[in-house]
């Protein structure tokens, strides 16, 4: 009989079971996300009350998602948009800043297009300038950084596209055939 270590795992349905710690299922369940950020109403409120957005990791390359998001924000919203990239002078005709500390104001939202391992350093920079919200873009996940940031008073949205969320909450996704969930005869405010 094996004396292998056993772990008690809680499943998504609320039930628990004991699994060998080395089993593939135990490893998969351990890797699942447990952090949950703001719900849809809170994300909509963040976007509604914000006036300025800094895009960290903004790219002057039109094929990059940060360029597409920047284009959308400049053309479809009245946010003050700042691009942060130490290797660029301008992006989309706007001045690019080398870091968050160089911005002319503290942005309401810092939208992050950096790899997951860079998120803790970005959070340190966000805390240093006094911004209140970090929005980590779709496909980027660092649960430990999110928990740490929240414990230091930041609001964190992670693995969500700011452009998609803004368009969804303002009826803009219907142009592409998506059901926005907005039932109204007029467009919502910004």
What tokens were used for 132? 């209140």
Predicted local confidence at residue 112, as pLDDT: 98
pLDDT confidence bin for 171, thresholds 50/70/90? confident
Residue 123, pLDDT > 90, answer yes
pLDDT band at 131 (very low <50, low <70, confident <90, very high): very high
For 46-69, write each residue's pLDDT tens digit. Answer: 999 999 999 999 999 999 999 999
Q: Output the pTM of the full model.
A: 0.76
- Whether residues 121 and 53 share a domain: the answer is yes
In a domain, 184, yes or no: no
For residue 175, the model assigns a pLDDT of: 47
Spatial CA neighbour of 43 closest among 161, 184, 176, 152 = 161
Query: Are 16 and 78 contained in the same domain?
Result: no
Q: Assess if residue 183 is contained within a domain.
A: no
pLDDT average, residue stretch 28-54: 87
Residues 62 and 17 in one domain: no
Give the mean pLDDT of 65-90: 96
The pLDDT confidence band at residue 1, using thresholds 50, 70 and 90, is very low
Asked whether 133 and 112 are in contact (CB, 8 A), the reply is: no
What's 68's domain CATH number?
3.40.50.720
Helix (H, G, I), strand (E, B), or coil: what is residue 108?
coil
Q: Residue 182 falls within a domain, yes or no? A: no
Verify that 50 and 89 share a domain, yes or no.
Answer: yes
Q: Does position 173 have pLDDT exceeding 50, yes or no?
A: yes
Domain count, the chain: 2
Nearest-10 crossing angle of helices 162-169, 40-49: 90
pLDDT tens track for 2-24: 567 877 766 655 666 777 777 77
Containing structural domain, residue 13: 1-32
pLDDT for 35 equals 85
């Amino acid at each position: 009989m094996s004396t292998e270590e056993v772990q008690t795992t809680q499943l998504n349905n609320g039930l628990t079971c004991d699994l060998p710690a080395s089993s593939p299922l135990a490893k998969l369940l351990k890797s699942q996300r447990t952090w949950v950020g703001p719900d849809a109403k809170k994300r909509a409120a963040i976007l509604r009350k914000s006036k300025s957005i800094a895009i960290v990791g903004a790219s002057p390359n039109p094929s990059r998602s940060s360029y597409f998001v920047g284009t959308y924000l400049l053309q479809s919203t009245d946010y003050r948009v700042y691009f942060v990239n130490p290797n660029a002078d301008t992006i989309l005709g706007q001045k690019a800043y080398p870091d968050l500390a160089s911005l002319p104001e503290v942005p309401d939202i810092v939208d992050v297009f950096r790899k997951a391992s860079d998120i803790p350093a970005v959070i340190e920079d966000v805390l240093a300038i006094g911004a209140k919200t970090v929005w980590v873009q779709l496909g980027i996940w660092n649960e430990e950084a999110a928990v740490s940031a929240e414990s230091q008073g930041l609001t964190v949205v992670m693995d969500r596209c700011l452009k998609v969320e803004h368009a969804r909450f303002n009826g803009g996704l219907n142009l592409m055939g998506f059901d926005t969930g907005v039932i109204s005869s007029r467009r919502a405010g910004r």
